[in-house]
Chains A and B, each alone.
Chain A
Amino acid sequence: MSQAVAPKLTAYGTLAALALLAALVLGRAELAVLGVPFGLALFAGLALARRPRLRVSFSVEHDRLLEGDEVGAVLELESDTAIEKLDLLLVLPRGVRIADGDNPRALRLAAGHPRTLELRLALTRFGGFLLGELRLRARDPLGFFVYEQHVDGDAPLRVYPRPEQVRSLLAPLETQVFAGNQVARTKGEGIEFADVRQFAPGDRIRRINWRASARRGSLWVTESSPERNADVILFLDTFAEARRVGGEGTFELGIRAAATLAARYLARRDRVGIVGFGGVVSWLLPASGVAHLYRIVDAFVQTEITLNYAWKDIDVIPRGTLPAKALVLAISPLLDERAQAALLDLRARGFDLAVVEVSPVPFTAAASGRDEQLAYRLWLLRREALRARFRRAGVPVTEWREGVPLAAPLEEIGAFRRSARFARV
Chain B
Amino acid sequence: MPGTLGTLLLLGALLFSWPAPIPSAIVLLAAGYAASLFLGHPQLDVSAPLVAGGLVLVAELAYLALELRPAVAAERGLLLRRSVVIGALALGSTAAGGAVLGAGALPAGGNLAWEAIGVAAAVGVVAVLTRLAREHAAD
Give A residues with C-beta under 8 Å from B.
Answer: 3, 7-8, 11-12, 14-15, 18-19, 22, 26, 28-44, 46-47, 49, 51, 84-85, 87, 102, 104-108, 139, 141-143, 145
Contact = CB atoms under 8 A, between A and B. Distances in A.
Given A30-B101, A33-B101, A40 B96 contact: yes
Contacts of B94: 37
Interface string B92-115: 111011001100110000000000
A143 B67 contact: yes
Contact of A108 (B38, B59, B77): B77
B73 A47 contact: no
**Interface of B, helix, strand, loop or mixed by DSSP:** helix
A108 B75 contact: yes
Nearest to A13: B129
B19 to A, nearest CB: 5
Interface in B45-67: 45, 48-49, 51-53, 55-56, 59-60, 63-64, 67
Contact of B100 (A36, A41, A44, A85): A36
Given A7-B19, A105-B72, A46 B136 contact: yes
Contacts of B133: 46
Assign chain B's interface to a size class. Answer: 35 or more
A87 B72 contact: yes
Closest 10 CB pairs of A and B: A37-B93, A29-B104, A37-B56, A46-B132, A102-B73, A30-B48, A11-B23, A106-B74, A33-B48, A33-B97
A19 B136 contact: no
Nearest to B74: A106
Given A8-B63, A46-B136, 17 more contacts: A8-B59, A15-B59, A18-B27, A28-B38, A31-B34, A34-B30, A34-B33, A34-B34, A34-B97, A36-B96, A40-B96, A44-B89, A46-B133, A102-B73, A105-B72, A105-B74, A108-B77
Given A85-B78, A87-B72, A37 B27 contact: no
